[in-house]
Structure 1
Amino acid sequence: MRFCSSLVLFVVLLGSLNGHTQGRGGGPPPAARAAAPFDMTGYWVSIVSEDWRWRMFPNKGDYAGVPLNPEGRKVADSWDPAKDEAAGEQCKAYGAPGIMRIPGRFHITWQDDQTLKIETDAGKQIRIFHFGAAPAGGADLQGVSKAEWEFAQRGLGRAIAGDRGGSQAGSLKVTTMNLRPGYLRRNGVPYSSKAKLTEYYDLVKESNGDTYLVLTSTLEDPTYLTEPMITAAHFKKQTDASGWNPAPCAVR
């Protein structure tokens, strides 16, 4: 497990050295929407093919696979869902580090040419990805997310999930900081305000016409983690909004 995590982290660092190539040739770079190497807009549904037990019905104290330090384990072991409900904190597991692994549906649109928006039906959350300069702010569940297209490299998602033959020539990299403390899982496994989330989104098209979005995430948190935590999630594209069912956050 530790060797695998180190290997994948090496791939992340190696990939970042490639930079990205838009804007070369003397002219201004195109807007993010025009420069996109693939289209990730539309409706997507989670494919829960990994970590089922933690994504569907995680039990209190089950933090296997999370490199928690003693303080992190102490917080997780003391989690009390009734206290969260009483305090109006039902959404603490629906922040950026956890929301994409909560089973549900996702609606992705361009808010404008430099801003990508992800809406979730689980918890009715909204994530905003800013290309270029990100605005000041944060200290909420979704933090501040800075996005960029990366070209001339194989995306990290494909490094983990495997290239199924139809992946596009580029990846979306999103870095999120300025987070309000929350939970990695819906059982009180914590992350702090010092957490940094790095995500890679890759598009894969199957020969039968199915389209998948592969997301690989790395979470760094000096407060509760002993090393970066790396996870993967997969989403299948839908032809329409079938099944879209916005629901409020739930603690249990």
Structure 2
Amino acid sequence: MTTVAVLVDPPVEGAVLERFSGGLLDAGEAADLYSAMVRDICRAVEDSGGELLVNYRPADQVPADVDPEQSLREVLEPALASPDEARYEVQVGETFAGRVGNTVTYLLEEENVTTAAAVDPTGALLSRKRIDSAAMKLRSSEVVLGPSTEGRVYYAAFSDTIDFEDAYATPAVETLTDRARAAGLGVDFLPSDPVVARPSDLRSVIPLLNARQRAERLVPPRTTECLADLGLTLDIDGDDLSLVR
């Protein structure tokens, strides 16, 4: 069983998806979209063969008057089939790479789990199938990465540790691979999927979700519904796609 740590920021206005705020979305709408992605990705982990670990930011790294654990419980518990089985633990570290490294290293070395993975909620298209596929690949490779657009990763799973300092430096898929190979570890990959970290990502995500729906294939339901409710669509001009509302 892989313990999958979802590294989550409190889904409140002004604290998440800041690149969306002030443009097509206001801060509240950006928080709504982030909350939908958190629900989808945590439910995918719950439905997989893995163990869900909700890794939340400490109180001194979130807006004042926000309880980081409680804010996540309020968002997540209605979306989970067995909310009492989800683990909630505080993140340790100043950078994303540092927080991933501390969590993965602790799980592998202190809790003696066999495999551990880390994911950010912006990888909302992560499915149960991808998580279980990564678990299978970890039987023959110590590191399994889910590549995304522009060299990013939506999923990173480990059966051994690497040097995590600045391990997510752009392009993260290359940096993580180089760190794994430097440690003498094997690397394998999942199929590529887009992430939703900035508005331009929606030029890839929206057509993919539309196509999957028309083909009656799996989509992240809450994220898909939220994007539809927000009225985010693409304007097509020849070969050019632009995001409109």
TM-score range, shorter chain: under 0.3
Given the two structures, how large is their TM-score scaled by the length of structure 1? 0.25
More helix by share: 2
- Larger RCO, structure (CA 8 Å, separation 6 or more): 1
Instruction: Give TM-score scaled by structure 2 length.
Output: 0.25
